[in-house]
Structure 1
Amino acid sequence: MPDVNGNYTVSSFFSGAGLLDYAFMDSFKIVWANEIVKQAAQSYCANIGNHIRVGDITRIPLNEIPSTDVIIGGPPCQDYSSSGKNKGEKGERGKLVWAYLRIIKAKKPICFLFENVVGLCRKHKETLHRLIEQFDKMGYTVSWKVLNANQFEVAQHRERVFLVGVRKDLGFVFQFPENLKNKTKTVREAIGDLPAPDGSFSNHIATWTSPTPERIYDVMKNPRPNQFRGMRRVPWEGVSPTLTAHLSKDGRETLHSSEDRRLTVRECLRIMSVPDSYVYPENMPLTHQYKATGNGVAYNVGKALATALKSQLNAVPMQISMF
């Protein structure tokens, strides 16, 4: 239940570098988080708080996890992604959706938010339906929807599936925020005002010089059969294709709109709509910065969800006992 100041407490799982939490922190009081990758957790700590615990969630005893009003998180999505091996819940990472469910069952928050790639509701829809069925049996009414970030003033085509479960004794069904129709944002609007990538602006440095411009133009005109996407530029007057964690391995998949280089980390964060106030620590390896960005939730989408959830919870009389 909210405290005297109306704050609902939140615990976060599979938190990454905290891009979803950063969007939630103005509306909710985040008191605990978990992430297995220490570099991502380092950035979480620097930007959100030192309440994050590093480690494998399947090895952390449930009694060491606090009970909070709300639980948020996005279990690893690689096994559900169309660009991955598509092992689904049989994959080592894919099975973690059930670890998330076990936490909900044990902690019984008044509501929860779950995020994943759209492959979960398409190729792996049976897993999604079984998850919803289990949440229903546990006493939650689940709403789910695919949201595209470009409909929330994000300069990127980024579809993700979101589930929001509300305990049935609260008596309401979560309503997703409306898309911001006719308010699309272009890549130019997102990154066009950034200075030259010389390191004078946080997380904005171009260190990638290979391949040569000649090689870039050659591959663009003559795609190689062993390259999944080849090389492509983000369009100045359009939206970027989906930024993924693969940026950490091969930035050639997503090049700057007019310069012969990959996007900088700050440009990627801007295309994720993340405020410039979010800064990766200088000693965090670039590969981890790109990976954490590609794995994150677009800030504007997270913000819209947080605002909607807080508003709908505030509209409900909280004379409800814990299970």
Structure 2
Amino acid sequence: MSELRYSCIESFCGPGGLSLGLEWAGFETLTAFDHDDESLDTFNQYRDGKVAFKADSRELEPENLRNKADLDSNEELDLLSGGPPCQGFSKQKRGAHLGDERNHRVIDFAVLVGGIQPRFFVLENVATFGKKRGKKFMARIRDLLGEEYDLTDNTYNAADYGLAQTRERFILVGRRKDVDAYFEIPKPTVGEWKTVREQIGDLPEPPEDYSEHPEYPNHEAARVSDKNVERFSHVPPGGGWQDIPYDLRLDCHKDVDTSSGGWPDVYGRLEWDSQAPTLTKGFDSFTRGRYGHPEYDRPITPREAARLQGFPDDYEFVGNKGDVRGQIGNAVPPPLAMAIGLKIRRALMIDDGVLDKKDTMPMSRKGQYELELPETTPAHS
């Protein structure tokens, strides 16, 4: 293994957004796991070798995970990363955080960290995890890991790291206390936020027969009723359901005070020269948010959503339409993961004596570390 490439195990890997960004930053994914078959197929299809396997975190022992990664008993792991299920912490789930069993997967992650003792770990979740909803879980993580790890938590806006999407995510980085270099929160990698036009404006229209575009995987239009197309045709860029003529509105919108702005993103149309809101797995429906194309009377396609998440065009998502929507909508944006990964790799290189503490490392593939990074680059980077 090159001295500039470090080992990583990915937990709750999903389709591989977090892994991809860390790989761009110079980490080698030794193994990964998730419980979802289609996500695992997507993860493995993009990578040489079937490194990801199916597992339930409640039943997975740290030593089993080390064995899957082919780590010798005396061999250290550099990074354990993961994005445990976050739906229970979402602000859209009122009160669900109190009893949603999925939330306890973050504790499973902490147990794996404690058992494997990587030099660093990365835990990703929704922004609300860092607030009231995740308070008791953060306290538990500190109880389990606080003596051995320095913890740095921060809420990041993906638009600061090269996306045309104002997606906020909570990321906790743990540094094992014997590592002689601290993790630094990465500064924004762009001076100005990218726009929707920059991210998806060059894509051709998907086929009219709802098939997949022959040159762009997952680029296919969603089937929408004629009535919904008619409604959406009245919505200007940046507009929403309030722009639909009264007689065409859904019944639930007819008695809403438009001045109060109730559900402003429903039937929302994106703007070419602005940013998309946080994508969810409902991005192919007008009724679930501001996911309408800036110019055409249709929702954005999975490929357009993947672009807005920072995935390259050759990253094909596997499964039925619902599977693909869920994988893209729940993914960690790779460019954000890369920014985090580069700061961790810098700390590891300092600890290993490869870099001096006063040295800096470029935040792109250009420069002295170019040959050590994967040839695959982020879309529109």
Length-normalised TM-score, structure 2: 0.77
Give the stretch that moved more between structures: 225-234 or 297-306: 225-234
1:265 to 277, 281, 302: 302
Q: Which residue type is aligned with residue 43 of structure 1?
A: T
Q: Distance in 2 between matches of 1:128 and 1:171?
A: 28
2:118 to 88, 95, 109: 109
Per chain length, whose mean CA-contact separation is higher, i.e. which structure has more relative contact order (CA < 8 Å, sep 6+)? Answer: 2
Q: Aligned pairs, how many?
A: 315
Residue in 2 aligned with 1:56?
A: 56
Q: Deviations over 1:276-305 (max 9, x none)?
A: 131224xx2121111101101112101111
Q: Deviations over 1:78-132 (max 9, x none)?
A: 1111012443263111111111111111111111001001111123242254045
Q: Deviations over 1:16-62 (max 9, x none)?
A: 01111111123111011011110111100101341111132212333
Confirm whether residue 296 of structure 1 aligns to residue 294 of structure 2: no
Residue in 1 aligned with 2:168?
A: 159
Q: Distance in 1 between matches of 2:86 and 2:226?
A: 30
Q: Distance in 2 between matches of 1:136 and 1:55?
A: 23
Residue in 2 aligned with 1:9?
A: 7
- For structure 1, list consecutive stretches of 5 or more residues without a partner in the other structure: 319-323
Q: Which residue type is aligned with residue 205 of structure 1?
A: E
1:285 to 313, 316, 320: 320
1:207 to 222, 233, 257: 222
**Cα distance change on mapping 1:22 and 1:211 into 2, 3 Å:** farther
Q: Is the 8 A contact 2:284 2:299 kept in 1?
A: no
Match of 1:93, SS?
helix
Q: Deviations over 1:156-212 (max 9, x none)?
A: 010001111000011332101101352210001100000111212221111322253
Length-normalised TM-score, structure 1: 0.90
Q: Distance in 1 between matches of 2:147 and 2:281?
A: 33
Q: CA deviation at 1:236?
A: 0.8
Q: Is the 8 A contact 1:149 1:157 kept in 2?
A: yes
Q: Is the 8 A contact 1:248 1:291 kept in 2?
A: no
Match of 1:308, SS?
helix
Q: Distance in 2 between matches of 1:277 and 1:246?
A: 22
Q: Distance in 1 between matches of 2:101 and 2:230?
A: 41
Give the stretch that moved more between structures: 168-177 or 56-65: 56-65
Residue in 2 aligned with 1:321?
A: none
1:186 to 175, 192, 195: 195
Give the stretch that moved more between structures: 215-224 or 233-242: 215-224
Q: Is the 8 A contact 2:282 2:288 kept in 1?
A: no
Give the stretch that moved more between structures: 287-296 or 135-144: 135-144
Q: Is the 8 A contact 1:156 1:240 kept in 2?
A: yes
**Cα distance change on mapping 1:248 and 1:90 into 2, 3 Å:** farther
- For structure 2, list consecutive stretches of 5 or more residues without a partner in the other structure: 72-76, 208-212, 236-240, 257-261, 354-381
Q: Distance in 2 between matches of 1:35 and 1:62?
A: 15
Q: Highest Rg: 1 or 2?
A: 2
Q: Is the 8 A contact 1:77 1:93 kept in 2?
A: yes
Q: Is the 8 A contact 1:248 1:286 kept in 2?
A: no
**Cα distance change on mapping 1:315 and 1:96 into 2, 3 Å:** same
Q: Which residue type is aligned with residue 267 of structure 1?
A: E
Residue in 2 aligned with 1:34?
A: 33
| Aligned sequence identity (%) | 26
Match of 2:296, SS?
coil
RMSD of the TM alignment (CA)? Answer: 2.4
Residue in 2 aligned with 1:25?
A: 23
Q: Distance in 1 between matches of 2:337 and 2:306?
A: 14
Q: Distance in 2 between matches of 1:285 and 1:138?
A: 45
